[in-house]
Chains A and B, each alone.
Chain A
Amino acid sequence: MSMAIEPLLLSTLAPLVAALREDGYRVVGPTVRDGAIVLDELESADALPYGWGVDVEPGGYRLRRRADGASFAHAASPRSWKSYLHPPREPLWTASRDGAGDLTVREPEEEPPRYAFLGVRACDLRAIAVLDRVLGTPGGRYARRRERVLIVAVNCTEPAATCFCAATGSGPAARDGFDLALTELAGPRYLAESGSERGDGLLSRLPGEPPGDTVVTEARAAVAAAAGRMGRSLPEGDLRELLAGARTAARWDDVSARCLTCGNCTMVCPTCFCTTVEDSTDLTGGTARRDERWDSCFDIDFSYLHGGPVRASAAARYRQWLSHKLGTWHDQFGESGCVGCGRCIVWCPAGIDITEEANALAEEATR
């Protein structure tokens, strides 16, 4: 990691959030709402979820009070940063017809907002890097949003029972792709380290003190310890080969009996990027618009060709999702589509566990 300027020990995040807002950023970070720690726009550091943690399990999520006042000791927010970089619905163009019948087509002109993402974990840094590769065509809509984003990462010291970023190689330490990285320590206090020139500029304006070797060692140890406390793991070996060889596995029938095909996993997944386009017209026929919105391989209409869907059964749809995520993503983009954040495990109402399914496929392959 580039460390042009020395790390700083912060006793509060208030000046950081204030500085970002002064710079014109809309600060998005974790906050408590509707019985969950969600990502939302923060007016100040007071909105952070101090003293809140979460207990998660497959298909279950509960807020829990913490004694230590920590603000980043939680995992698996119901939405990922994808919601801001690749929004659920986005206008592509509008067309209007004048009195003479001539059409004018307009693309949205306004500049995308400048977001500062506060509290991006290593798994989600990796997810953003995955989206960059998939959607980041220079000059495109994603790229225009992405280049305006400032990232304050948080090294993970509190993995959840559903986490497996150590197995995907994404975390728990933030290695690159951030402007500033924080490690939350008892207090809470925050070790802040810069990862970019923008981070340097930000850090130089914050009140703090040199951390000293003890604090840095404490921070590194807390992150390293997190790697050993992940509740889950993926099978050893080449997952691309495993999935390619599993097309007729009996496990697909087993999981399809539990799968609701509701699509929740794909929407909470920080890398699932599929969309469809929708056209609408007003009653007068004077205006039309085309929107892009999230779609999902679990939607029966997603694979609709003439006469019907290609993937009609739940087994076919689950197989498509898992095979792409862990297998053919490698062929398409040169890496895995799974970062180990565990969201699909937590937010699946039926509690289907991607690691359990992958391990079951691996076990079946050895039979």
Chain B
Amino acid sequence: MATPTLAVWKFASCDGCQLSLLDCEDELLALAGAVRIAHFLEASSAVADGPYDISLVEGSVTTAGDVARIHRVREQSGVLVTIGACATAGGVQALRNGADVEEFRRVVYARPEYVATLAESTPISAHVPVDYELRGCPISRAQLLELLGALLAGRRPRLPTHSVCFECKSRGTACVLVAAGTPCLGPVTQAGCGAICPAYGRGCYGCFGPAARADTDALAPVLRVAGVAGEDLARLYRTFNAAAPAFRAAAGRAESAAGEATDHEGGGDDPPR
């Protein structure tokens, strides 16, 4: 069997996820022996033509050029894997979705006419079929190696869709929400990171995006007790996975609840959001 080829593609992103691949220091030699790295501009300017057996795609789609390019990547790829919150959910840049992008362009850039951008930042899966997703900001190196090992062996990768709580309990972290009242998105966030943040005494901020059937409505009263509600709750969900459907909806509901509360109080001349 010929050595499989690996390509790494970048869309709108910070490069942190593809850096995770270079970060696999102990495994890099084994990886370089197991696959032929045919296209990985962060590592080498030497690129080989496609098709590619495995494509890792980082970043979200934010320009018309991206739309055309992701279709070309898909055509040339056997297995297409999206890596990181940008590629799987639109990333932090999806905060602009639903806002006035024209205004941003005018205010932020000295020469706005140079900036060609779409109104929304969208995940890769909104444009082409995706075979596997690695969540996170950044992705977990262990999950990346697990996925590549699985693809090379032809077995199903272990990518659990349950909550971060599974990992907290497995590693023996006392629940920060219960034992300290620290706001935590762990119960609605997908595992895979190893529950790093709670192990250091802070709440999960949801960088792996929603767990399967995440029940954000059930978490809202819990977070209210922990001191987070309304606009604050909306902001908690509006980070790296702001456009992931479950988190977007939760933020929207938190915001409308805050709006209703304000209406009841009869206060404020804020314009409608």
Contact = CB atoms under 8 A, between A and B. Distances in A.
Contacts of A348: 178
A260 B219 contact: yes
Interface stretch (A57-65, A200-208, A211-219): A57-65
A350 interface: yes
B30 A264 contact: no
A34 B187 contact: no
A262 B163 contact: yes
A129 interface: no
Contact of B30 (A282, A312, A347): A282
Contacts of A262: 163, 165-166, 186-188
B222 interface: yes
Interface in A257-292: 257-264, 267-268, 278-285, 288
A224 interface: no
A36 B166 contact: no
A51 to B, nearest CB: 18
B152 A61 contact: no
B161 interface: yes
B256 interface: no
Nearest to A58: B178
B170 A267 contact: yes
B172 A83 contact: yes
A123 B221 CA distance: 31
B34 to A, nearest CB: 5
Given A88-B170, A349-B187, A264 B175 contact: yes
A87 to B, nearest CB: 9
Contacts of B218: 257-260, 314, 350
B153 A285 contact: yes
Nearest to A279: B155
B166 A296 contact: yes
Interface string A27-38: 000000111101
Contacts of A285: 34, 152-153
A294 interface: yes
Interface in A284-316: 284-285, 288, 293-294, 296, 298-301, 312, 314
Contact of A267 (B31, B166, B180): B166
A78 interface: yes
Contact of B165 (A61, A88, A263, A284): A263
B33 interface: yes
Given A267-B170, A280-B146, A301 B178 contact: no
B160 A61 contact: no
A21 interface: no
Contact of B175 (A33, A296, A312, A349): A349
A319 to B, nearest CB: 16
B150 A281 contact: yes
Given A34-B179, A257-B217, A350-B218, A263 B163 contact: yes
B10 to A, nearest CB: 23
B175 A89 contact: no
A145 interface: no
A284 B33 contact: yes
Contacts of B34: 283-285
Nearest to A36: B174
B22 interface: no
B31 A34 contact: no
B258 interface: no
Q: Is the interface of B mostly helix, strand, loop or mixed?
A: helix
A331 to B, nearest CB: 27
B178 A349 contact: yes
B163 A260 contact: yes
Contact of A280 (B149, B166, B172, B175): B149
Interface in B128-171: 145-146, 148-150, 152-153, 155, 158, 160-163, 165-166, 169-171
Contacts of A349: 165, 175, 177-178, 184, 187, 219, 222
B149 A281 contact: yes
A260 B187 contact: yes
B148 A34 contact: no
B174 A264 contact: no
B206 to A, nearest CB: 13
Contact of A347 (B31, B163, B175, B213): B175
A79 interface: yes
A171 B199 CA distance: 33
Contact of B161 (A89, A282, A294, A300): A300
A260 B188 contact: yes
B3 to A, nearest CB: 12
Interface of B: 27, 30-31, 33-34, 145-146, 148-150, 152-153, 155, 158, 160-163, 165-166, 169-175, 177-181, 184, 186-188, 201, 212-213, 215, 217-219, 221-222, 225
Given A262-B188, A279-B155, 17 more contacts: A59-B178, A62-B179, A260-B188, A260-B222, A262-B186, A263-B165, A264-B165, A283-B33, A283-B145, A285-B153, A293-B170, A296-B162, A299-B162, A312-B213, A347-B175, A350-B219, A350-B222
Which 6 A-B pairs give the minimum distances between C-beta atoms?
A267-B169, A36-B174, A262-B187, A88-B170, A260-B187, A262-B165
26 contacts: A34-B173, A34-B179, A35-B174, A36-B174, A60-B178, A78-B175, A83-B172, A88-B169, A258-B221, A262-B163, A263-B163, A278-B158, A280-B149, A281-B149, A281-B150, A281-B155, A283-B34, A284-B34, A294-B166, A296-B162, A300-B213, A314-B215, A347-B175, A347-B178, A349-B222, A350-B221
